[in-house]
Amino acid sequence: MLQLFTRSIPIILFLWMSGCRAKSGFSLGIRDSLMIAHSFHGHPAFGPASGMHGATYTCDVEFCTDDINPETNWVFDIGEAASILSTVLAKYNLKNLDEVFDNGDLTTTEFMCRKIHEDICELLEQKECNFEGSICVKLWESHKAWASHTSRVIKI
């Protein structure tokens, strides 16, 4: 009974915590930036931003774990994390997202957080990186506005 209860605690804590930062544990953060052009295809909900415009995003990625790796005393290799983020952002940097996502997707900041998160997870899997925890991708539109996407990653 106790074993079953202790296995469910991380799930409960993950659902309870807001964003990637837990009340305990460790995190590693990295930052990069990208410049994009896009439109919201004339959708009226976006007002003046519904037409073509540009954006410069600051992208923060946080790798969170319950504990540090006992062999290396780190959450994740910071150089590898920076390289993965740089590779992912290169797919979108200096591009028109209307052409990258040519099926009419509304490339909101939230949408791009999810895409960058998915791309990071895909690269982690391809590189057979040994990471288990949560990854939070935060895109800053300005010093006043941002969006983020956080999801648990199971042993990649």
pLDDT of residue 13: 37
How would residue 113 be classed by pLDDT, with cut points 50, 70 and 90?
very high
Q: What is the pTM of this model?
A: 0.84
Average pLDDT over residues 4-8: 40
Question: Angle at the Cα of 20 (from 19 to 24), degrees rounded to 5?
Answer: 115
Any idea which of 14-28, 69-83, 135-149 has the lowest mean pLDDT? 14-28
8-state DSSP, 132: -
For the cut 60, the answer to whether the pLDDT of residue 46 exceeds it is yes
For the stretch 66-84, pLDDT in tens is 999 999 999 999 999 999 9
Q: Which segments of 17-139 does DSSP mark as H helices, in order?
A: 78-90, 97-100, 109-126
CB atoms within 10 A of CB 156: 18
- Give me the sign of the Cα torsion angle 40, 41, 45, 46: positive
pLDDT of residue 144: 95
What percent of the chain has a predicted confidence (pLDDT) above 70? Answer: 83
Task: Compute the mean pLDDT over every residue in the chain, rounded to the nearest whole number.
Answer: 87
pLDDT of residue 37: 97
pLDDT of residue 140: 98
How would residue 21 be classed by pLDDT, with cut points 50, 70 and 90?
low
How would residue 153 be classed by pLDDT, with cut points 50, 70 and 90?
confident
